[in-house]
Amino acid sequence: MLASMSPELQGQHENMDAHIIIYENSKELFRCKMTKGSLVNTHVLKIIGYIEKLGQLGFVMDHELSVGLVLQ
């Protein structure tokens, strides 16, 4: 699983098992809020990044849930 991650992400998670990595990324995704004064585009790309990262880890979300998280 680590091989599918970027070198930065590998370094952050090399001592964690898959469940912990998925949990940590999910937590970040569901807690993510747009900061005041930031661009919507930047926020959406950040959310999509979290969703794609989870997909690379084997945790594929339902399309409706992914869309809901972006619109939330």
For residue 10, what pLDDT is reported?
A: 65
For residue 6, what pLDDT is reported?
A: 66
For residue 58, what pLDDT is reported?
A: 87
* Domain total in the chain: 1
pLDDT digits (tens, 9 = 90+) for 6-65: 677 666 656 677 788 888 889 999 998 888 998 999 999 999 999 998 998 888 889 999
- Alpha-carbon distance 59 to 4, whole Å? 13
Whether the full predicted model's pTM is greater than 0.85, yes or no, is: no
Q: Give the number of other CB atoms < 10 A from CB of residue 22.
A: 17
Cβ(13)–Cβ(54) below 8 Å: no
Residue 47 sits in which domain range? Answer: 2-71
**Residue 66 pLDDT more than 80?**
yes
